């Protein structure tokens, strides 16, 4: 009896299904599932900290649209050549279901919206930030599955056993359609599945955050700072493996630079929070 071993990871044959005229996009479904799981985990953690459950839902109301808008703005700015070239259609910049959300813009604008809400309600933000951090990275991990369906966020060609096969997709007219088409079965390239690397890294950071939060008494806001530091550390080395088109600065992808800078800021904030906590503790003795 002959045994067949699957050599590579296959991409899904398609990323869009239709219920009549209604398109069901795997990318959008992945984002939605990620948001739901993030809210579930945040709700549990914030209640355990004595927080008001209503603040979780109110924060979601402002953070989700702000995050989506911020993520899209960041993506369009850093990949402007995809939308504002001579052969491009600028309207595509608004087609968010086709993929393209920059996590930096999403977290930045989402955080700003939540900060404004908590400031208006006169509720401390740090406990909520620590409660939401594991939920955010869980949502990011689930959201990366959307990149798998879209055949995007992949790395350089490789012959490793876990290489990702990128299929040639066409639409009903036989035209090349990598996002909305169906696979012909022809493999364009076998590449590093960097979306999978980030998914697994995010889950590892999630487990680490939950462990640290349970075992150590840290200053408020520390878990969020560790989330940012942990995520950007992983994103830095993953960006170095990617080979798709991107805006470059001094020979490196813009996201590589952003990861490095944000990582250093997050580490500095974490250290500052611990020092401030010790100083306050000494003053109260």
To the nearest 10 degrees (0 to 180), the angle between helices 222-239 and 254-284 is: 160
Output the CA–CA distances (angstroms, integers) from residue 255 to 6, 197, 230, 249, 258, in the order listed. Answer: 33, 16, 15, 9, 5
CA distance 285 to 282: 5
Give which of 277, 130, 135, 276 is closest to 214, Cα–Cα.
Answer: 130
CA distance 274 to 233: 20
CA distance 99 to 109: 18
Beta-carbon count within 10 A of 89 CB: 10
The binding site comprises 144
Cβ(201)–Cβ(225) below 8 Å: no
Q: Which residues of 223-239 are buried (b: 16+ CB within 10 A; e: fewer)?
A: bbbbbbbbbbbbbbebb
> Which residues are 187's β-sheet partners?
167
> Which residues are 17's β-sheet partners?
24
């Amino acid at each position: 009896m002959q045994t067949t071993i699957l050599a590579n990871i296959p991409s899904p044959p398609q990323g869009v299904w239709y219920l009549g005229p209604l398109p069901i996009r795997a990318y959008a479904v992945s984002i939605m599932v990620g948001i739901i799981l993030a809210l579930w985990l945040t709700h549990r953690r914030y209640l355990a900290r004595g927080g008001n459950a209503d603040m979780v839902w109110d924060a979601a109301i402002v953070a989700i649209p702000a995050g989506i808008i911020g993520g899209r703005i960041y993506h369009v700015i850093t990949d402007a050549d995809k939308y504002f070239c001579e052969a491009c259609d600028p309207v595509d910049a608004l087609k968010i279901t086709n993929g393209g959300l920059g996590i930096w813009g999403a977290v930045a604008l989402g955080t700003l919206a939540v900060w404004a809400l908590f400031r208006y309600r006169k509720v401390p933000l740090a406990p909520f930030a620590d409660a939401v951090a594991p939920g955010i990275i869980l949502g990011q991990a689930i959201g990366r599955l959307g990149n798998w369906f879209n055949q995007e966020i992949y790395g350089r060609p490789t012959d490793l056993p876990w290489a990702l096969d990128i299929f040639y997709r066409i639409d009903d007219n036989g035209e090349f359609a990598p996002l909305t088409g169906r696979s012909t079965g022809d493999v364009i390239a076998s590449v590093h599945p960097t979306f999978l690397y980030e998914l697994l890294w995010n889950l590892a950071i999630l487990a680490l955050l939950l462990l640290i939060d349970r075992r150590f008494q840290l200053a408020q806001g520390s878990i969020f700072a560790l989330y940012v530091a942990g995520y950007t550390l992983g994103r830095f080395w993953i960006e170095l493996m990617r080979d798709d088109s991107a805006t470059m600065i001094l020979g490196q992808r813009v996201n590589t630079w952003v990861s490095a800078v944000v990582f250093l800021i997050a580490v500095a904030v974490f250290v500052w929070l611990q020092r401030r906590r010790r100083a306050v503790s000494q003053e109260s003795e």
